[in-house]
Chain A
Amino acid sequence: MKNKGIVEFWVGLFVVAGIGALAFLAFQVGGFSGDDFGDTYQVEARFSNVGGLTSKAPVNMAGVRIGRVSAIRIDSNNYDAIVEMSIDQRYDNLPIDTSASILTQGLLGSQFVGLEPGGDDLYLEDGDEITLTQSAVVLEQLISQMLFSKAEGDEQ
């Protein structure tokens, strides 16, 4: 048998690695995430419907990811959905009239927030709210609207 100290060292290392792997599974795979951006600032946006948007979904501008959705909650006064986003501090020069819309990656892909810059000289700061928003397109509503308007057209 090998030197007892070496055996104990390896077993200790093995147990640490195993527990580390369990922690990795619990935090990284199972839900908790450390943000991969450095410093971020928070911006809010109101939508009447967020569709299938989930927290941790990307926030894109011109197709480039500049942040993440950090939380989604509902405003209990007027039943709007409030989407909180963490934007990378490097992009702190977004005009205050930037508009946000909920878009879909591909036809059936996951949803993300797309930002469209405005032209104002003032920039969004931590805690600001984006007022120009466009809600998610819900495919079922779109289809039912189309069928409904087609039926009305047939009657005339």
Chain B
Amino acid sequence: MSAIRDLGAWTLNSIARWGRAGIFLARTLAGFAWILRRFGLVIQQVFSVGVRTLVIIVVSGLFVGMVLGLQGYNTLVDFGAETSLGLLVALTLTRELGPVLTALLFAGRAGSALTAEIGLMKATEQLAAMEMMAVDPINRVVAPRFLAGFIAMPLLAALFTAVGVYGGYLVGVSLLGVDAGVYWSGMQEGVDLYEDIFNGVIKSLVFGFVVTWIAVFEGYDAVPTSEGVSRATTRTVVNASLSVLALDFILTSLMFD
């Protein structure tokens, strides 16, 4: 009997959360009109979610590209097809690893920070204080962070991919001796501007939207205690990562059929 009641309560809670998340998103998007007149706030947030995530993105991109170069070379050289190394590295990065890994790192590095910051503002009643002063915290706090994440994510993904391609070049060409011209020409022949690069950018835009949405909502919706904030931060990382992976499958099946 109580199990059924628990199930019912869980269902109602989930639906209520989805509803709150939807209303929250609508209010945030409505806040964009306000934030465009105070763009300095967005620039500050691009600094804290974008620029501060740059180091981990660049270092990860370099290593992922280098590993791809090494593994790809070892596999391809058995078939005498190491001329396709550049194509393999570029397609893997532009289509999948660039957007997906950047989104996962972004969720861990910037998303968790967003949730913790907003959750702590709520726990220390800063958001309530803003409302007392007739400042809408969604306009003032949430909207600039949301927009900043949406701006930063595709730029970070592009940097990740570019650095990764260069990492593959370092290992494949400088270390293992694939011809530099063949590395680039194989890539240029096989990578399509629209099919691969443009679709990768669309992916990173979608991921940026979803990860930032989850991060700011979890912070805004957190139980205003230290335990509540810590649980909200964990939920951000877990939910954002799972959403990115699930969405990636859906987007891939729509884009590359």
Q: Tell me if A140 counts as interface (CB < 8 A to partner B).
A: no
CB-CB under 8 A for A109 and B80, given A14-B51, A22-B201, A26-B197: yes
Proximity bits, B70-110, A CB within 8 Å = 1, else 0? 00000000011101100000100010000000000000000
Which residue on B lies nearest to A35, using beta carbons? B181
Beta-carbon contact of A19 and B181 below 8 Å: no
Q: Which residues of A contact B158 (CB under 8 A)?
A: 18-19, 21-22, 25
Closest Cβ neighbor of B153 among chain A residues: A18
**Chain B positions 180-229 with a Cβ under 8 Å from a chain A Cβ:** 180-182, 184-189, 191-193, 196-197, 201
A119 within 8 A of B: no
How many angstroms from the CA of A110 to the CA of B180 in the assembled complex?
Answer: 14
Contact of B191 among A7, A13, A29, A65 (CB under 8 A): A29
- CB-CB < 8 A to B196: which residues of A? 30
- Distance in Å: Cβ of B33 to nearest Cβ of chain A: 22
**B41-49, B118-126, B132-140, B239-247 - interface stretch:** B41-49
In the complex, B154 has a CB within 8 A of chain A: yes
| B179 on interface, CB distance cutoff 8 Å | yes
| Bound CA–CA A104/B80 (angstroms) | 11
Closest chain A CB from B154 CB (angstroms): 7
Choose among B162, B187, B189 the residue with the greatest number of A CB atoms under 10 Å from its CB: B162
Q: Are B193 and A26 in contact (CB under 8 A)?
A: yes
Question: What distance in Å separates the Cβ of B151 from its nearest Cβ neighbour in chain A?
Answer: 8
| Chain A residue with Cβ nearest B200 | A25
Determine which of A30, A58, A108 lies in contact with B188 in the assembled complex, contact meaning CB atoms within 8 Å. Answer: A30
Give Cα A56 to B84, complex, Å. 14
In the complex formed, the residue of B with least CB distance to A105 is B83
Specify the main secondary structure of chain B where it touches its partner: helix
A29-47 near B? 1/0 per residue, CB < 8 Å: 1111100100000000000
Could you tell me the distance between the alpha carbons of A10 and B84 in the complex, rounded to whole angstroms? 37
A34 and chain B: residue at smallest CB distance: B184
**Chain B residue nearest in CB terms to A33:** B188
Cα–Cα distance between A90 and B237 once the two chains are bound (Å): 57
B162 and A56 contact, CB distance less than 8 A: no
- Whole-angstrom distance from the CB of A70 to the nearest CB of chain B? 12
Contact assessment for A7 and B44 in the assembled complex, using a CB-CB cutoff below 8 Å: yes
- Which residue from B54, B156, B161, B184 sits with its C-beta under 8 Å from A25? B161
Chain B residues whose C-beta falls within 8 Å of the C-beta of A31 in the assembled complex:
188, 191-193
Q: Is the CB of A106 within 8 A of B44?
A: no
- Given A14-B46, A26-B197, A29-B197: A108 touches B80 (CB 8 Å cut-off): yes
Is the C-beta of B50 less than 8 angstroms from some C-beta in chain A?
yes
- The listed residue with most A CB atoms (<10 A of its CB), out of B40, B152, B158, B193, is B158
Could you list 22 A-B pairs, sorted by A, with CB under 8 Å? A4-B40, A11-B43, A14-B47, A14-B54, A18-B158, A21-B159, A21-B162, A25-B162, A26-B193, A28-B165, A28-B184, A29-B165, A29-B197, A30-B193, A33-B184, A33-B185, A56-B181, A58-B185, A65-B179, A108-B81, A109-B83, A110-B182
Binding site for B on A (CB under 8 A): 1, 4, 7-8, 10-11, 13-15, 17-19, 21-22, 24-26, 28-33, 36, 54, 56-58, 65, 68, 105-110
Closest 6 CB pairs of A and B: A18-B155, A106-B80, A21-B162, A21-B158, A56-B185, A30-B193
